[in-house]
Each structure stands twice: as C-alpha cells, then as structure tokens.
Structure 1
C-alpha cells in the first residue's frame, strides 16, 4: 500500500511541464517568437523593478554603522600629512604667501635670472607645507622633479638639512640628487657644483635648490651658508641659472649670520610666515570638517581649541593634534556604549566639555614639555636669564651670562661665543621660551630686549638633579 501511494503522488505536474517545453522548442510550426516576446514583456517590468530596490538596500544594511565611519574619517582628516586639495595652489589661510612665492618664481623664470629667497616664521606656520604645495601644484606633468611655470622649466632639488651629517656635505647631497648618484670618488664641494652648472650639464634653464631647516648648516665662520647663497651670483654667467630657497625659524637669520651677503649686494629676499590667528585656525579646521557627512564638533568646541592654540603659539599643527585627540576621545566613549544586543547609539559629538579636557592636557602646562626639549646649552642660558632684569637687552644679557658662567660653572662647562649665544637665543625665541622685543628705533639683534616666558618653578623642576644647572639657577 505504501508503494501505491508513492507512485500516484509522483506522477503530477513536473514531468508534464518539462516535456511540453521541449516539444514546443523542437516543433518548427509553433510560433516561438510570439510566445517568448509575450512573457518577456510581462516578466521584465515585474521582475526588474522589485529586484532593483533590494539591491540598493542590501549594501546599506551591511555597512559599518555611520558613527564609526565618521570618527574614522574625521581622524584621517586631522592626521599630519593627510591628503590635501590640490585644485588650488595655496593652503587655507596662506593665500598671500602663496602669491609671493608664485611671483618670485615667475619673475626669475621668465627673466632667466638667478636669485635667492629666505622663508622664516615660527614652527607650525605652514612654511614648508605652503612651499611644497606650490611646487606640487606647478609640477611638470611628465617629470616629477621639475617645476613648470610661465612656460619655463626648472629642475628641483629639495633637501631637509637635518638629515645631512655635516654642513660641508650639503653640496655632495645636492650633486647626488642632480646626477642620481649616491657615492662619489671624492667629496663634492661648491666648486664641483659650479663646474657642473657651468658646463651646462643640467637639462633645464633653472636649478631650484630648496633647503629646509637651513639653520642646520650653521658653522663657526658660516662659510657653507655663504657659499650656498653665493651660488646664485656665480650662476649668472652659467647656461643654467640658480634659485636658492632657504627655510628656517629665525626672522633675522641672514642678517645675523650672513652680514657678508648684504655687503656684497647678495642679500636674499625675505618672506615671513606669521603665527596663525584664531580666525585662520578656525578656517582651516572648519574646511576639514566640511568634508564629513555630518556635523561632528560643537561650534563652541572648535572656537575654544582655535583660541587656545592661537593665544599660546599660533601653531596650526598643535590645533589639529588637539582636534584629532578630541575625536579619538569621543570615539572611545562611543564604543564603550556599544552592545551587540541593541541598535548602535546615535552619533556622539565633540562637546565643549570634551574639548576643554583635551585643551587642558595639551595646553595646560606647555612650558614643561618645551623645557624638556631644550639641550644643555639652552637650559644654561635660560637659567642665567632668571637673574636678569625684565628690560635687559641681549647684549647686556650676554655680559651677565659670561660673568655668571665664569663665577659658577667652575670650568665644568665652556662659555658660548657671541655668535653661538645669539643662535641659542634665537632657538629659545622660536620655541616661545623667551620673548624678544624691539627697544627704541634700533632693530638689531643685540639691542632687542629679552624676557623669560616660563614660570621659575617649572624651570627649577626641569633642571632638578642636574648639579651645574641647579647652581646656575640658584
């Protein structure tokens, strides 16, 4: 009985449909085109439209929750070295400086002349970043190491002087980049570079040499720096003209260390990058945040960060680091509230309280981190400055410094020469550890007034355990 039930149930529709289709396809008299076109017209609209809707919905349901992706995107925007918008030739807030650079390059390229430019400004003011943007924007379309502007071409050699082992090796570094060579039979000097250019071996009308962190090339007699800038004068009779661009923090670098250039009429043009105002910092931060799909920062949180950064150093990088840390903090707080059993919570914004906490840790005691970064000579000069009056000039301070060193250092530490002393003072100013102001009509370095810019107790804490420094301080 069980066998009879199975055979009766198997016989219905499926076999009957399959043979019918086969017979229809094999029969030439059946009107195949009509039968296929009718179902196609009926099937296409009914099947395609419902399928299209789920196709759009499926990926969105599989995506990472919006808050997680927003936090990740925001952190990438505030990371140092993040991708920039290359559709314009200037950074946000640095349009005027970009115009100066463009004008300087255009003038020398079109007139086929040599020249030199010194770019100065405190750390974090966009000196290197803006120059890099200009070189990238006007880069030759087919040659990466070349600049194309106003129909003229220049070969670009870009060097960070901090990586050069000694100042005298800078010409070897330049030659190596020019001829794509690492090792030479003998050390390459300024004369070798001059001979290379004189023989017309460079395949461009101009050679543009960019020297970042140029103060790393300082020597006792400053001969290396003088030879570098003197290249622009030497090349005036060469087939290839030379453009020198130096970058450092000190505003009066060339006047202080290279007075010979002024005497010989070779003083480079100057372009100063001033510290960012809070409005400029806000403009940069807002420009970055506009790339997010939602608003992530409370407007007052942005303003708090920008005003704090501007009031202390005007360092844009510091403000961006604080924004990155704020996003990271909020992301951690958001992740702590996630649960696999409930829907993800709504986006958590960077509030004023979040930003206040981050700013307190980043800007609350800036002096301590600055003092930790100082070397021994800089700390010695700073300790001596604590014994001076508030309105003392740099020249008067140097006299006091020599007296204190001879009286308390007991021959353990040598006394800096005047040029070395001025270099240390300039570095302290760049790190905002001291303030320099002009006295009267004279703007000479020695006549400027110097004033310490860190609390005495923090300086004492930073030299604790260093016998000679404690003796100089107390």
Structure 2
C-alpha cells in the first residue's frame, strides 16, 4: 500500500503535467488564430520584430506567384511539341523553311526527274564494267548545272547493294580536280585514297606512279577501283601525259581501274587527246544537254511537292505560283540551262515572300483593331502570301543583271581575260580609256602571273578587241588616226561591278579580278 506521503507526491506531479498541457494548447490556439487573422487582415505597417519574423514568408510568397506563369509557358511549349509529334526532328513546321531546304543545292532529292536516257547509259556502263570486273572509261560532258554529278551519285546509291554482293571489293574514289594545285598531284592523291596494304614490295612508296601501277595493273588483286574525276579538264598539261596515262591504264586488259571523267567541254578527248583513238583507248562518251523549260518546271515542282509533304498545311494552294515557276524556267533555260541557278532564284523568291509575310504579320499584331482571340501558329497558311511573279522578277533582275552582263557571260575565255585585264587597270587608274598597247601588256602580264591560260599573239589580241566591240559594244575604239595601233585609244563601256557579276561563277576569273593579283602593269602616260 502506498503511504500518505507518496499519494500526495503523485497528485502534485499529475496536477503539474495537466497545467503544462493546458498552457501549450492555449498557446497553440493563440498562434493559429493570430496566423488566420494576419492572412485575412489587410497589410499594415509591421514592427521591427514582426518584420524580422516575417521576412521568410514575404520572400517565398512572391517567388511562388512568379513560378506559376513559367509553368504555363512549359505547358504551351509541351502542347506545341505534341502538335508536331511523329515528324522527324529535323523537319521544321514552317512551309517557307521546308521549301528553302528543298531548293538548296546541297539537298539530295528523293528521285531525279528526267534524264532517263542518261540514267540508262550510266547504269549500263556500271553493270558492264564494275559488276563484270572489266576495265573501262567513261567521259561525261555537259554545261554546269545539267545534273552530271547528281545523276552519277544517284546511280552509285542504286548500285550500292549489288556492289556489296560481289566477290571482290569495289573501292570508289571521288576527286574534284579543281582542288589540286598541280595536275601531277593526282598520282599522290590516288595513292593515298586507294588501299595499298597488300602491295608489298611491288611498289616503291615514294614513287606514286609506280605504286599506282602495282595497285591498278595487277589482275590478281581482289579489288576494283572506280575513280571518278570531276572537272577532269583541270588535269590538262602541255603534253597531256597525265590524262593519257590515266585513260591508257583504264584500257589495259589486266587493269583493275574503271575511270569516269566529268567536265564541261564536249570535245575534250578529240581536241586534247587525239592519240587515244589511235591507241584504241578512247573512252565511252555521254553528253548532257542543257535543261529545257519543261524539264526545269517539272524538277522544281517535284522538289516543292516533296517539301510540302513534310508540312501539315491548311492551304491547298502551292507555295510558288505556276506562272512564277515557268517565268524562272524560261529565263534560266534561255540563258544557261543551269538548274542550280533556277533553284537559287526560287529560293531567294521564297525568302522575299517570307519577309513580306513577316512584315504584314507584325503590322497586323500591332494594329489596335486586330482580334486578340486569334492565335497564329507556324503552320497557319490562310494568310500566307504565295511566291508570285513579282518576287521572281525581283530576284532575276539581280541574278542575271543587265544585257551587258549576259553578253559578257557568253564570251570566250580569251575575251573574258581581256576584260579582266581592263578591270585590273581600273583598280590603279580610274580612267576608262587606255591605249591598246597598255591593255595588251596588262593582258599578257595577267596570263603570265596566273599561268592558267596561254596568251594569244598580238594580232590575235587585236581580233579579240574587235569582237568585244561588236559584241554589244562592250568596248569602243578611238579614231584610226594614230600611227601605231598600240597608241590607239580603247574605252570600256561597262561598269566594273558588271564585270564582277558576270564572272562571279568562274573561280579562275574571280581570282584574276581580286586585288591580290600580280603582274598587272600600271597605266603610264
């Protein structure tokens, strides 16, 4: 039994615990009531103590309020991402961007339109020589932009699976000969590109020609080399030994070389390599004629259809009007027939239309009468302006320039060199009329400095001047009263900017027009 003293002690302990619990509950109720009163009451000046105690809540609450709009932006971006779900990541939603990408020179089309006969010829040559391990040579000629390299690349893609199934390996080498400083550098370039692990001691590694003989003229090798030389006319030399050797290697029965040359000149083999016919080493010839109007229209429309297939558009109208495409095709076909130029014109016209649409959209957004409920998306094409004739004409005027620019583009290489010499003389002296003798010295020095074209004789130079005078009046000759023809004055009737515009697609002439060109004499007297 507990004593009276123990009972009293237990009672006092219990009373003390009840009092502590009651005080804690009252304090908790007061704190909760104060918090509720503070949230419901309007803002009032705080004492320093209250301000110190409420610094943390006052800082957190605005941050939480700002985080809410950010979450809305994330939701909107998520919806935009979900809207284009299923499309490739690299295909944009904008129809303008898709059209510009399809019209770029670097874009490989899904299929090439036209060139059926040329395609059959290259395919037959590939089957006859590459798949049969039979050496041979093919020379493809045609003006720039006629699809020579593109069609050959397409045939290679089509034959890739059949090449891989052969019992021997097919090693393809593509070289743009414009990248070579010297024509004889082609030997070392080929020796580096072709596999040479199994040659052994047959070739001296320092002798590129001997190494290539061991690689290409050994019928026991389980390898066939397909060498594609673009701009093969840059391998021309004084005695043409480089081209003769390559074509002769491809004609030998024990050779493991299939040679394909590509250049612009139609008569390259007949004019510069006449001995190939005598030695029965003449390559097979294939010429690409310039594109006609119908061909250019069909190719452009096919590219635009392919671009439109990647864009979910609300408008059924084509991005470029049919009349605008035909205008571009007729202009390009009458000038050069270069498909790349037609693609560039249409691409720039699309850029003009895109800029015009952006300006109109910004004006509509800034207008106070614009409805706030209408939301434009990148795929909205209801207000999208089509590329019309006005846009194409604006580009054509800048690309083709005046009639003088078109005339200069159709000149021969020697006549263009005379204009380049005249252009360089204007860099040192702004007088537009000089003596024929001074112009001849400048022309001769320009040819000697670049060592790319052999200068003509003095009498032939006077014939070039006469042709320039009759070709649209590019130059004008003074009176014949001078005792010597060298002292006769000649005046340039075109602007220097027009000369640069006319020659901008010819790298050799552009290098001659640069200020860094050497060997140009200064006008004296």
Same fold (TM over 0.5): yes
* Partner-residue secondary structure (3-state), 2:144: coil
* Partner-residue secondary structure (3-state), 1:271: strand
Q: Does 1:461 align with 2:494?
A: yes
Contact 2:84 2:93 in 1 (8 A): no
In the superposition, relative to structure 1, how do residues 457 and 278 fare at CA in structure 2: closer, same or farther (>3 Å)? same
Contact 1:405 1:415 in 2 (8 A): no
In the superposition, relative to structure 1, how do residues 297 and 455 fare at CA in structure 2: closer, same or farther (>3 Å)? same
- String of CA shifts for 1:189-243, please: whole Å, max 9, x gaps: 2x32112234468542x22111100011010111111011011123x124xx321
Partner of 2:284: 269
In the superposition, relative to structure 1, how do residues 468 and 83 fare at CA in structure 2: closer, same or farther (>3 Å)? closer
Partner of 1:32: none
The 2-side partners of 1:462 and 1:256 are apart by 35
**Structure 2 spans left out of the alignment, 5+ residues:** 1-28, 34-74, 86-90, 198-203, 377-381, 422-434, 457-463, 476-491, 500-512, 514-518
How far apart are 1:245 and its partner, in Å?
A: 0.5
How far apart are 1:364 and its partner, in Å?
A: 3.6
Which of 387, 400, 404 lines up with 1:363 in the alignment?
400
Of 357-366 and 243-252, more deviation after overlay is shown by 357-366
Q: Does 1:186 align with 2:206?
A: yes
Contact 2:219 2:254 in 1 (8 A): no
Q: Does 1:84 align with 2:105?
A: no
In the superposition, relative to structure 1, how do residues 358 and 260 fare at CA in structure 2: closer, same or farther (>3 Å)? same
Number of residue equivalences: 363
Q: Does 1:118 align with 2:139?
A: yes
In the superposition, relative to structure 1, how do residues 305 and 232 fare at CA in structure 2: closer, same or farther (>3 Å)? same
* Partner-residue secondary structure (3-state), 2:185: helix
How far apart are 1:150 and its partner, in Å?
A: 8.2
Partner of 1:283: 298
Which of 225, 233, 237 lines up with 1:207 in the alignment?
225
Contact 1:106 1:150 in 2 (8 A): no
The 1-side partners of 2:454 and 2:167 are apart by 41
Superposition pairs for residues 71-470 of structure 1, below 5 Å? 71-85=96-110, 91-140=112-161, 147-148=163-164, 154-179=170-195, 186-189=206-209, 191-199=210-218, 202-204=221-223, 206-234=224-252, 236-238=253-255, 241-291=256-306, 292=308, 293=311, 294=313, 295-339=318-362, 340=365, 342=370, 343-344=375-376, 346-365=383-402, 368=405, 371=408, 377-380=414-417, 409=440, 413=444, 455-457=472-474, 460-461=493-494
How far apart are 1:59 and its partner, in Å?
A: 3.6
Contact 1:116 1:244 in 2 (8 A): yes
In the superposition, relative to structure 1, how do residues 201 and 369 fare at CA in structure 2: closer, same or farther (>3 Å)? farther
Rg larger for: 2
- String of CA shifts for 1:289-319, please: whole Å, max 9, x gaps: 1121452111111111111111111000000
Contact 1:157 1:208 in 2 (8 A): yes
Contact 2:236 2:242 in 1 (8 A): yes
In the superposition, relative to structure 1, how do residues 60 and 188 fare at CA in structure 2: closer, same or farther (>3 Å)? closer
